[in-house]
Amino acid sequence: RMPILEQCYNLMDFEAVARNVMKKTAWAYYSSGADDEITMRENHSAFHKIWFRPKILVDVEKVDFSTTMLGTKVDLPMYVTATALGKLGHHEGEVLLTRAAKKHNVVQMIPTLASCSFDEIMDAAEGDQVQWMQLYVNKDRSITKKIVEHAEKRGCKGLFITVDAPQLGRREKDMRVKFDDVGSNVQSSSGEATDKSQGAARAISSFIDPSLSWKDIPWFQSITKMPIILKGVQRVEDVIRAVECGVQGVVLSNHGGRQLDFARSGIEVLAEVMPVLRERGWENRIEIYIDGGVRRATDIIKALCLGAKGVGIGRPFLYAMSAYGLPGVDRAIQLLKDEMEMNMRLIGCTSVDQLNPTLIDTRGLSMH
């Protein structure tokens, strides 16, 4: 029998439920990683290599873990990252994530390949709710230009250009199940007929431009005033180049282990990046985010101690949504907030600006 929502005590619990109740195609698409899924597993387990050095005897009666990301005040240093095809898991799709994000005052990143239309997702936002846009760059730049201009006009507050997917990774679990569920919006956004024999991911991604390069960045800067963030950066050299290009941020990410297998985890790359930025005095010239395998508030705290501005979370919200709808996503975010309050107290910090490298022991990371 399916456990009631109150029996989910952490983000991993939603995955176990979702696995049993989701359609096979949806489960395969959401849960799969590239090749042997080594990176997908490493994403979470990399956090286990970092330990805390908590402070004692600090007055932690009042704890505030709100912060600012790209100028937006948020209640938790976390955003709901872009994941394609929300309607595979729940008939309402991405707008359900919009409502949960609103309730908890966190940002939602809207995927290019959403199964609700972009305008439906923008319309679902209320008041001053902030949304960002994830961009897959089309071979036809006039389509991309239209998408970007429209996103800015509708009030998106950040453009996250995905740079780790010149070709979609091989997700064999996804390829093995027959895929016949592509939504019509997705087909129209790619502007091409879909080949369903290769799994959901490949069916919807043939429009992505593998020739995208650093040379294109000034063009993006010329067509939008939105902050530009490169999503999927994996080495310090590229972070330096991103700063030199004048982009506002990077997401250290391997696409949830769905692209290059044996890409390192975001947290591991973060530990490589921050000392170099600090050495150059560049830590305030760019905002650094990570995603991949973040499942606990302690994971968020570790990333912030290393110097990240915030973290993105993907699959747990898809699983919570698929299993329990809006109350599921609501509970998932609330669980993170509860964990955050407790763990901030236990490490002896009352606000996120107090989080710093002396609060963690990173000697277990492979770079040391």
Query: Which residues are known to be catalytic?
Result: 136, 164, 255
Nearest-approach distance from CB 161 to ligand FNR, in angstroms? 9
**Nearest distance in Å: CB 29, ligand FNR:** 6
The nearer residue to ligand FNR, 16 or 58, going by C-beta atoms, is: 16
Distance, in Å, from the CA atom of 79 to the CA atom of 107, rounded to the nearest integer, reads 5
Shortest distance, CB of residue 164 to ligand FNR, whole angstroms? 8
CB of 183 to ligand FNR, least distance (A): 13
Query: In the bound complex, what is the minimum distance in angstroms from residue 102's beta carbon to ligand FNR?
Result: 20
Cβ closest to ligand FNR, residue 174 vs residue 330:
174
Structure token digits, residue 304? 């912030």
Which residue, 255 or 331, has its beta carbon nearer to ligand FNR? Answer: 255
| Closer residue to ligand FNR, CB minimum distance, 315 or 349 | 315
Write phi, then psi, for 52 (nearest 5 degrees). -95, 150
Rounded to a whole number of angstroms, the minimum distance from the CB of residue 110 to ligand FNR is 10
Cα 275 from Cα 67, distance rounded (Å) = 22
* Residue of this chain nearest to ligand FNR (CB atom): 314
Which residues neighbour 139 within 8 Å (Cβ) at sequence distance 6 or greater?
Answer: 207, 208, 209, 211
Q: Please state, in angstroms and rounded to a whole number, the distance separating the CA atoms of residues 106 and 259.
A: 26
CA 237 to CA 277: how far, in whole Å? 11
Residues that bind ligand FNR (CB under 6 A): 29-30, 43, 81-84, 111, 113, 134, 162, 231, 253, 255-256, 258, 291-294, 312-315, 318
Query: Which of 114/352 has CB closer to ligand FNR?
Result: 114
Residues in a beta bridge with 183 = none
DSSP bridge partners of 349: none
Could you identify the residue written with the tokens 């949806």? 26
Minimum distance, C-beta of residue 335 to ligand FNR, in the bound complex (Å): 15
Do residues 270 and 288 lie in contact, with contact meaning Cβ atoms separated by under 8 Å?
yes
